[in-house]
């Protein structure tokens, strides 16, 4: 029986060694697959980063273009409606010109008690109406180049 026990022990040791070898091979395969997946994930991350940058750039370009259009319409409508108060000038960044229109309007409002103010109060309103029509009839590019880049303050 001792030979049987010895053979059985040898068989168990051989099986244990085979199991260790199999586990080592499986571990190596898993490690290799993990490396491959890691590289693929890095590549996908790079592609996603590039796509996000392209999307961000195109969104920024579209927003900038859209902001110019919206500003033109906004300024044109406000010039027609509230032109006497110079609101459209303040939005375009022409603070001095906006202050002049607002000052003339306020002077006309104060002098309206005397009667002459009713004539004075019309001046900035007519200027605003004319400018609003001019703003809305210009093309988007022409408006942007003239009033936002070129900083043309009047008409």
Q: How many CB atoms lie within 10 A of CB 149?
A: 10
CA torsion 108→109→113→117, rounded to 10°?
20
Alpha-carbon distance of 93 to 125, in angstroms, equals 19
pLDDT value of position 22: 82
pLDDT value of position 65: 59
Task: Give pLDDT tens digits for 85-126.
Answer: 988 888 888 899 899 999 999 888 888 888 788 888 888 889
Confidence of residue 129 (pLDDT cuts 50, 70, 90): very high
With contact defined as beta carbons under 8 Å apart, do 130 and 71 qualify? no
28-42, 61-75, 77-91: which is most confident = 77-91
Shortest CA distance to 102 belongs to which of 119, 112, 91, 89?
A: 89
Q: How many residues does the chain have?
A: 155
The pair of structure tokens assigned to 47 is 């592609």
pTM of the model: 0.54
Which helix (H) or strand (E) is 69 found in, with range? helix 2-82
Q: Where are the domains of the chain?
A: 2-149
Does residue 64 register a pLDDT over 70? no
């Amino acid at each position: 029986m001792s030979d049987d026990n010895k053979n059985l022990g040898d068989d168990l040791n051989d099986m244990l060694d085979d199991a260790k070898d199999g586990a080592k091979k499986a571990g190596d395969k898993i490690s290799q697959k993990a490396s491959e997946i890691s590289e693929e994930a890095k590549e996908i991350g790079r592609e996603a980063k590039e796509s996000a940058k392209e999307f961000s750039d195109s969104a920024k370009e579209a927003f900038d273009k859209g902001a110019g259009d919206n500003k033109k319409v906004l300024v044109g409508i406000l010039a027609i409606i509230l032109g006497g108060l110079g609101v459209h000038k303040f939005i375009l960044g022409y603070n001095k010109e906006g202050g002049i229109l607002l000052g003339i309007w306020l002077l006309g409002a104060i002098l309206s008690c005397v009667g002459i103010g009713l004539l004075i109060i019309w001046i900035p309103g007519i200027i605003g109406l004319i400018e609003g029509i001019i703003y809305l009839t210009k093309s988007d590019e022409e408006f942007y180049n003239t009033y936002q880049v070129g900083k043309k303050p009047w008409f």
